[in-house]
Amino acid sequence: MRPHVIALAITNATPTFELAVPCEVFGTDRSDLIDPWYELRMCGDSSGPLRTATGLAVHTPYGFDDLLDADTILVTACARPVQLDPPARLVEVLREAHAKGRRIVSICTGAYVLAAAGLLTGRTATTHWMNAGDFAHRFPEVDFVPSALYTDEGDILTSAGTGSAIDLCLHLVRQDHGAAVANEVARRMVVPPHREGGQSQYTKPVVRAETSDDLAPVLQWAQERLHEPLTVPQLARAAHLGERTFARRFRDRLGITPLQWLLQQRVRLAQELLETTDEPVEQIARSTGFGTAANLRYHFGRVTTVSPQTYRHVFRHRAAQQAGNSQAAQSVLTP
């Protein structure tokens, strides 16, 4: 079975962090989790050597034409000159790749390139909030969502800036290999395992930074008790805070309410159990704190847009298909 090829479309003076994120997520060998892991290809303009915005040299052994051989094309964030005038060949290749059904992703201001290629017309998209006014003015045909962490239109995905690049890359891993693998990648990167794409890019700044503001212990405490009927007062007591203070600090830090966070964690746990066990939906509902299968179906559908049974079927079908492709490939190679 051949690896899923992710090709980065890199232009000169790309922001360093936004380039490093997909390199870390997809370029680090994690074949101990899924074998084969991704194959990452660095693609750039062959006219000369590229450097990041901070001056780091970027080796691009592949050109823009090689993007067409990838399963997923990821356009990295780009400098202002590229936003205003993207490389013509890159725009042409993106149009051709889209016509061939490739998955195309942009990180931060890479959305300018996708919009210039006409791939975002009539679609939802986002970019860094500081570029919101300019992007919306330049591309009025795009259904621009200025506050989203990332948008997912199936074959076209866009992200906001900096940290949200991690969110979108982990979202891709979750799509390809399931929640358990994505969560393990997040754990190794020491980042939150999941933030919804619709979550706001920016939250109210924390006025004071105190050691008691660290919510990590109570989050871990809650994750170990998702099967229990947890309440906000219980979480507040575990954090040694008053209920109102806890709720305010929680939203300041995570951008969502404690109950919204609990719902997300329970749905993600349900996804893992649907992927990795044969437990009936009723048992998974009890194990994840939803209590009844009806509650699980309702909340699972609101978050994922599909039922637990459909999610399990699609994931198992995809896994079986990948295994079949692997066996077929081995039979071809065997004399």
5-189 with 261-319: one CATH topology?
no
User: Domain boundaries in the chain?
Assistant: 5-189, 211-255, 261-319
CATH superfamily of 261-319: Homeodomain-like (1.10.10.60)
Radius of gyration of the chain (CA): 21
CA 69 to CA 26: how far, in whole Å?
17
**How many C-beta neighbours within 10 Å does residue 239 have?**
23
pLDDT tens, the chain, 335 aa long: 899 999 999 999 999 999 999 999 999 999 999 999 999 999 998 777 899 999 999 999 999 999 999 999 999 999 999 999 999 999 999 999 999 999 999 999 999 999 999 999 999 999 988 888 889 889 999 999 888 889 999 999 999 988 899 999 999 999 999 888 998 898 899 887 666 555 545 443 333 333 334 788 899 899 999 999 999 999 999 999 999 999 998 888 777 889 988 998 898 899 889 888 999 999 999 999 999 999 999 998 887 767 888 878 777 766 555 555 445 444 443 44
Distances (CA, A) of 267 to 7, 284, 290, 303: 31, 10, 9, 8
Q: Which amino acid is at 233?
A: P
Alpha helix stretches (DSSP H) within 7-129: 16-27, 80-84, 88-99, 111-116
Alpha helix stretches (DSSP H) within the chain: 16-27, 80-84, 88-99, 111-116, 132-138, 163-177, 179-189, 216-223, 232-238, 243-254, 258-276, 281-287, 293-304, 308-333
Contact 134, 154 (CB under 8 A): no
What torsion do the CA atoms of 98, 102, 107, 108 make, to the nearest 10 degrees?
Answer: 20
CA 255 to CA 253: how far, in whole Å?
6
CATH topology of domain 5-189: Rossmann fold (3.40.50)
